[in-house]
Amino acid sequence: MRALLRFVPLALLGTIALLAPGLAHGRAHATTQTLVFTTPAISVPGYGVVTKPMLIDSPHVDGYVVGLTAEIVDVHGRVQGRSKVMLHHIVFGKIGVADPTCGGGTQRFYAEGEERTALRLPAGYGLPNKASDRWYLLYMLMNHKPQTLKGFVRYKVTYVTGETLTPVSPVWMDVRNCTGFDPSFDVPGTGKRFSAYVRTMDWTAPESGRIVSAGGHLHGGGIRLELHNTTCGTTPFVSEPTWGGPVPHPILHEPGPTHMSQFTSPEGIPVAAGQTLRLTAVYDNGAPHTRTMGIMILYMAASQATGCGPTPKLDIDLGRPSYPPVFTFPLPLAPKGPVARGVTSSNVQEFGYEHPLVSLALGTTFTWEFAGTVLHDVTLVSGPVGFSSPWTLAGSFSHRFTRRGTYKLFCSLHPAQMSQIIVVR
Ligand SMILES: [Cu+2]
């Protein structure tokens, strides 16, 4: 354990505190510690959203990650409520390790959003980690106050050294897999309430394994995430959302679930090499839901599984699942100005749309021309059909309006600064 203390960098990427008692005089026997790391300050403009990758500190001896949680703290180390700087999304990755579903050079191994799912594994299992491993963090934080605030991501790693655990590897299942920093999609909302909008992704297991833990991530309007084994025709796990709790004000996005069900199982759900797993994200299509996600991270241990085995008993942290509520999302900022008629495009700059109020004939294709120094988008807040553009610096995005009605739009990255209303006659 002395070695661990020696390798802690005191000022490199943040601060670290070792909470485990007796660390300084322990010997090289099995030890479980809670390592607490804090990132450098992240500045979030008033009512703004920031998303960026950063290199972060990680355990500096070989061992196993058996637990991980993250939260946003202020400069005094106090946990920030959802009404200040809110944790929107956070993804942990390992640089230089191939990702099993997306390839590339960063293995995504843990994430959380508003549902605040902690990494949990059954006893005896761990994510192997080397002293030389380099961790990366992709954060998306949202500030609900008018002034710029500083947030720090504090993450607690439960870490086992001096013993050999059964290794697990993370498998990132995402219905918008491999689409970069913004794996979101839009639910058009053109059906009746309780009708479903579904997206899926398939992954064929290259080796046999057992899924010993999994949890899900959905946004507002999400009904459930289903994990299927399409080769065997089974649905071994469904992650369900819990809704409710206080909504931060002002409302800058449609609130997501406050909990998603998660399971652990020491036996694990068997998956044989060559079998196909399918993730199905189910959303309510009775109203538009924009920039939504459907993600489930599987933690898999090796196995000799062949054929289609039975699903073992799962220990499910269920929460209080319910159907997503109807949510009224007002525009945070009312657009002002003369109504532009006969225009079919708007420039998008810091920080506004050239024509805040537009009247269009049905069937018109409208184009947003982006030319800013920071990323912007155009996202439907409420209206007849959900749509959104990618985050864009320069270039254009077009949408054809095929339904009459009032489309309330904003920039999801600057929700209280940039808004537009398009009325389609
Ligand atoms: Cu913007």
| 146 and 1 part of one domain | yes
Q: What single letter denotes the amino acid at residue 123? A: A
- How, if at all, do strands 42-44 and 49-56 pair? unpaired
Q: How far is the centre of ligand 1, averaged over its atoms, from the C-alpha of 58 (Å)?
A: 33
Instruction: Average the pLDDT over 117-122 and give the result.
Output: 95
212: nearest Cα among 168, 171, 173: 168
- Specify whether 117 is located in the same domain as 27: yes
Out of 33-37, 69-73, 244-248, 345-349, least confident range: 244-248
pLDDT band at 197 (very low <50, low <70, confident <90, very high): very high
pLDDT at 418: 96
Band the pLDDT of 250: cuts 50, 70, 90. Answer: confident
Q: Is residue 352 part of a domain?
A: yes
The enclosing domain of 291 has a CATH number of 2.60.120
Distance CA 407, CA 339 (A): 14
* Residue-averaged pLDDT of the chain: 91
Q: Compute the distance from residue 411 Cα to the ligand 1 centre, in Å.
A: 5
Which amino acid does the sequence have at 320?
Answer: R
CA–centroid distance, residue 77 to ligand 1 (Å): 30
Residue 37, domain member (yes or no): yes
Q: In which band, very low, low, confident or very high, does the pLDDT at 28 lie, cut at 50, 70 and 90?
A: low
Query: What's the CA-to-centroid distance between 353 and ligand 1, angstroms?
Result: 9
In a domain, 354, yes or no: yes
Domain count, the chain: 3
In a domain, residue 61? The reply is yes
User: What distance in Å separates the CA atoms of residue 413 and residue 387, rounded to the nearest whole number?
Assistant: 15
Mean pLDDT along residues 248-262: 91
In percent, the amount of the chain with pLDDT more than 70 equals 93
Of 149, 164, 179, the one marking the end of a domain is 164
The answer on 244 and 148 residing in a single domain is no
Is residue 99 in a domain?
A: yes
**Do 156 and 172 sit in the same domain of this protein?**
no
Of 21 and 270, the one with more pLDDT: 270
The Å distance, Cα 373 to ligand 1 centre, comes to: 10
Cα of 139 vs centre of ligand 1, distance in Å, is 17
**192 and 317, same structural domain?**
yes
CA of 341 to the centre of ligand 1 (A): 24
CA dist 120 and 125 (Å) reads 10
Domain with residue 363: its CATH number is: 2.60.40.420
Give 344 Cα–ligand 1 centroid separation in angstroms: 20
298 and 202, same structural domain?
A: yes
- Using only the alpha carbons of the chain, give its radius of gyration: 23
Please give the Cα distance from 258 to 107 (Å, whole number). 26
As a whole number, mean pLDDT of residues 242-265 equals 92
Kindly indicate the confidence band of residue 395, based on its pLDDT and cuts at 50, 70 and 90: very high
- In sign, the C-alpha dihedral spanning 46, 48, 53, 57 is positive
Secondary element (H or E) of residue 187: strand 185-187
Preceding amide of 248 cis, omega within 30: no
Q: In this structure, are residues 38 and 61 in contact, taking their beta carbons and an 8 Å threshold?
A: no
Claim to verify: residue 199 and residue 299 sit in the same structural domain:
yes
Boundary (domain end) residue, out of 129, 164, 199:
164
Q: Domain range holding 23?
A: 1-164
How many Å lie between the centroid of ligand 1 and the Cα of residue 146?
16
Does 11 score more than 70 pLDDT? Answer: no
User: Per-residue DSSP letters for 112-147?
Assistant: EETT-PPEE--TTEEEEE-TT-EEEEEEEEEE-SSS
* Bond before 387 cis per omega within 30 degrees: no
Cα-to-centroid distance, 339 and ligand 1 (Å): 21
Indicate if the pLDDT at residue 172 is higher than 90: yes
**220 is a domain residue:** yes
Contact 266, 100 (CB under 8 A): no
Of residues 5, 266, 251, 233, the one with CA closest to residue 121:
266
d(CA 338, CA 355) in angstroms, rounded, equals 8
Distance 364 CA to ligand 1 centre (A): 24
Beta strand 85-95 pairing with 31-38: unpaired
Q: 39 C-alpha to center of ligand 1: Å?
A: 25
145 and 1: one domain?
yes
Q: How far is the CA of 382 from the centre of ligand 1 (A)?
A: 18
User: Are both 140 and 20 inside the same structural domain?
Assistant: yes
What b/e readout covers 16-50, taking b as 16+ CB neighbours within 10 angstroms? beeebeeeeebeeeebebebbbbbeebebbebbbb
CA triplet 176, 212, 240: central angle to 5 degrees? 55
Do 182 and 305 reside in the same domain of the chain?
A: yes
Choose the final residue of a domain: 146, 164, 182: 164
Ligand 1 mean position to 99 CA, how many Å? 31
As a whole number of angstroms, the distance between CA 202 and CA 228 comes to 9
- Domain co-membership, 132 together with 7: yes
Assign 182 a pLDDT band (cuts: 50, 70, 90). confident
Could you tell me the distance, in angstroms and rounded to a whole number, from the CA of residue 375 to the centre of ligand 1?
6
Residue 82 has pLDDT above 80, yes or no: no
Measured in angstroms, how far is the CA atom of residue 417 from the centroid of ligand 1? 8
Distance (angstroms) between ligand 1 centre and the Cα of 252 equals 13
Give the Å distances, CA to CA, from 326 to 18, 196, 250, 253.
45, 14, 18, 14
Q: 210: which residues sit within 8 A by CB, 6+ positions away?
A: 267, 268, 269, 270, 271, 300, 301, 302, 303, 305
Identify the pLDDT of residue 22.
36
Residue 334 lies in a domain: no
Q: Cα of 23 to ligand 1 centre, how many Å?
A: 48
In this structure, the answer to whether residues 344 and 321 fall within a common structural domain is: no
Span from the CA of 49 to the centroid of ligand 1 (angstroms): 9
